[in-house]
Structure 1
Amino acid sequence: MGEKIDRRIVKTKEAIFQSFMSLIAKKNFEDITINEIAEQANINRGTVYFHYQDKYDLLNKCIEENLNNIVSVTTTTDADGETIDLIQSSFLPVIQYFEKNHSFYASMLSNKGIPVFRDRMLELITTHIKIHINMDGDNQNYSKEFITQFMASAFVGVIEWWILNNMPQSPEDVAEQLWGLLKRNQVIN
């Protein structure tokens, strides 16, 4: 039998998260206080500290949860319980996830006090590209690490541009163009 989740804890954490995100959209991370987070969430500051060590812990948990969500939209399991990597067929679920969570990603990428978010997103994409890169053909003359860093930086840069410019192209167009560029560069088969 699974562990029962207390709905009050879930609601409280959601209120803290929403308060935090609302504040990040308005001001620099370094200027945000636990008091402000608690006040906006309409809870006691001790409640914030009950769930998080400090605002850095809260930030890390928010980043971790959202990056894990990116991974979860890229994988599924088959009838045998084996993991299937959906990235083999399309980037569309990932791009649609970014669109659905635009305000979070726009806040994280535009707030100068949070360079760790972009770094962790780049690390996630780098790991994923390294797994899928094809080192045959044109790529055999290059360093795998060099190509991986180049393509991961390009991918994150395009996503950052798209999000911070209020998604000027549809998710379908972005997914198709990214897929084509990565395929052309043998990052995906």
Structure 2
Amino acid sequence: MDRRIQKSRQAIMNAFMRLMSEKDFESMTVNQIAEEANVNRGTVYLHFTDKYDLLDQCMEVQINQLLRNCMPEEGLVHLTSKTALQRTFEYLEQHASFYSIMLTSKGSAVFRNQMETLFRQSLSEHLDSINLDRKLNKDITVQFLSSAGVGVLEWWITHSMPYPASVMVEQFWNLLDRIQLQMFE
């Protein structure tokens, strides 16, 4: 993609996020986004169908970056789940402004659902690769763990990260260890 196109697109996305921190999404207009990005309204429409498309693409970009930066890549030495969890919390800490805006704005339900879907898919794949206790229903286990994980992340972010990422990882990991021990008794 041409650098000028990338630059305009990024300016629009950045302007949109700044406005999201100040305004309600529903009251925001494409004109306001264009003005904040210092581009013409037509430029916004060149990149995005409307403000809903812009919101969707911002969420998609961030979630993809989260995955790329936090999850093991093929060819790398296998990372433990705790290492991936540590990388996730550190990434969220570094990008707190975006996640805080997305989890406290009117669009938060959509974003939260996307995060939870991502967690469910990842957990489902993980549970397929291990021997889950036969007394446990996979669907219920996935729903429980993904809801807990996203809930903890959401609480941490919306409460201005009262604990460092390392403390959150240790606490979360200890809880998962206790649950796992009870799951396999």
Distance of 1:87 and 1:122 partners within structure 2 = 21
User: What's the CA shift string for 1:84-143, capped at 9, x where partnerless?
Assistant: 66353421111011001100000000002342111000000111111223553xx43121
- In structure 2, the residue matched to 1:123 is 117
- In structure 1, the residue matched to 2:72 is 75
Which aligned pairs between 1:9-24 and structure 2 lie closer than 5 A?
Answer: 9-24=5-20
- In structure 2, the residue matched to 1:102 is 96
Which aligned pairs between 1:79-94 and structure 2 lie closer than 5 A?
Answer: 86=79, 88-90=81-83, 91-94=85-88
- When normalised by structure 1's length, the TM-score is 0.87
Which aligned pairs between 1:2-81 and structure 2 lie closer than 5 A?
Answer: 5-73=1-69, 74-78=71-75
CA contact (8 A) 1:126 1:148 kept: yes
Distance of 2:179 and 2:74 partners within structure 1 = 28
Distance of 1:92 and 1:113 partners within structure 2 = 27
- In structure 2, the residue matched to 1:179 is 173
User: What's the CA shift string for 1:161-188, capped at 9, x where partnerless?
Assistant: 000111111111111222222233239x
3-state DSSP class of the match of 2:180? coil
- In structure 1, the residue matched to 2:144 is 150
Measure how far apart 1:26 and its partner are: 1.1
User: What's the CA shift string for 1:34-82, capped at 9, x where partnerless?
Assistant: 001000001000000000001111111111111111211212232xxxx
- When normalised by structure 2's length, the TM-score is 0.88
CA contact (8 A) 1:135 1:186 kept: no
Distance 1:85 1:185, change over 3 A: farther
Structure in which a larger fraction of residues adopt helix: 2
Q: Percent same amino acid among aligned pairs? A: 41
Q: Where in structure 2 are there 5+ consecutive unaligned residues?
A: none
